[in-house]
């Protein structure tokens, strides 16, 4: 049995295949970002999914693409956790950027971007990924991501910059007690997920002027730091992965057009495209 997984910070989608690459089942766990989730919690999130545990001894191969898997130390942590569970499997772990490339571009040279709980981008030359810089995560980078917008929403609420009608709805939807927020930001695991949870508020009010302005600001920063420095010609395809790009497609396309660029494609969840790529290209 083969397991293919696309793992963000919030959730991880799994597909199990038989030896002929026919789909057996799908499962979803909580996010498995080894850069922010403690080792024991990583293990718990896997073993609590009964579909995976029921077949753990049958799994011979795992291809896991995940947030936080761009540097050796977190990759080793996640590898050790998985090996302790799937003891018979060969385990391949790569960063989620590679899954985004496979899902969106396939083998076509392109700029590929992720706008989910976190954010990132790369240029794919048809065989290798070229990165502008290593991602330093939610507290320093992650422009236009879920956690970026969550942070702006909370700041605007506390600084009274949020319109009254929207702030009232914001209060009704979330616990905005200062001690509660600080507890989750500084003492609980997964502060990036906590911040990103506030971003879902924007989906419901995406036609409000205040939200549109917020989204536009984030996308402008993302293009400034994560797309324009590649200095590619205007014919280079640009793909986006993730719900932020998917739900705010119109604003994203307007910002791209301001730079004489166009968005080639937007994929909300890459797992299906990733599966097809594996079937065709990976033995």
Q: What per-residue confidence (pLDDT) applies to 7?
A: 87
Alpha-carbon 36 to chain mean position: 14
pLDDT at position 78 is 97
Domain boundaries, the chain: 2-96+271-281
Q: How far apart are CA 92 and CA 21, in angstroms?
A: 17
Q: What is the pLDDT of residue 209?
A: 94
Per the DSSP assignment, residues forming a β-bridge with 25 are 16
pTM: 0.84
Q: Mean pLDDT for each consecutive 10-residue tract of the chain (283 residues)?
A: 89 91 93 90 94 95 91 94 96 91 89 92 91 82 94 97 95 96 91 92 91 96 95 91 92 95 92 85 68
Q: What is the CATH number of domain 2-96+271-281?
A: 3.30.420.40
13 - beta bridge partners? 6, 28
């Amino acid at each position: 049995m083969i397991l293919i997984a696309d793992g963000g910070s919030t959730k991880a989608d799994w597909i199990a295949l038989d030896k002929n690459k026919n789909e057996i089942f799908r499962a979803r766990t909580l996010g498995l970002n080894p850069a922010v989730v403690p080792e024991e919690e990583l293990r718990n999130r896997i073993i609590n999914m009964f579909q995976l545990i029921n077949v753990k001894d049958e799994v011979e191969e795992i291809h896991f693409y995940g947030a936080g898997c761009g540097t050796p130390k977190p990759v080793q942590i996640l590898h050790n956790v998985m090996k302790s569970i799937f003891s018979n499997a060969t385990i391949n772990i790569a960063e989620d950027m590679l899954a985004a490339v496979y899902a969106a571009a396939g083998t076509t040279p392109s700029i590929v971007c992720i706008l989910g709980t976190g954010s990132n981008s790369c240029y794919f030359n048809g065989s290798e990924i070229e990165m502008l810089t290593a991602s330093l995560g939610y507290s320093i980078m992650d422009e236009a991501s879920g956690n970026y917008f969550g942070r702006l929403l909370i700041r605007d609420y506390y600084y009274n910059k949020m319109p009254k009608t929207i702030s009232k709805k914001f209060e009704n939807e979330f616990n905005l007690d200062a001690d509660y927020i600080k507890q989750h930001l500084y003492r609980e695991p997964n502060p990036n997920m906590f911040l990103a949870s506030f971003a879902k508020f924007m989906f419901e009010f995406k036609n409000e002027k205040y939200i549109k302005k917020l989204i536009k600001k984030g996308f402008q920063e993302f293009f400034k730091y994560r797309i324009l420095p590649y200095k590619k010609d205007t014919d280079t395809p640009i793909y986006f992965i993730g719900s932020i790009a998917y739900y705010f497609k119109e604003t994203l396309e307007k910002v791209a057009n301001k730079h004489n660029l166009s968005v080639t494609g937007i994929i909300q969840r890459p797992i299906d495209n990733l599966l097809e790529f594996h079937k065709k290209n990976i033995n």
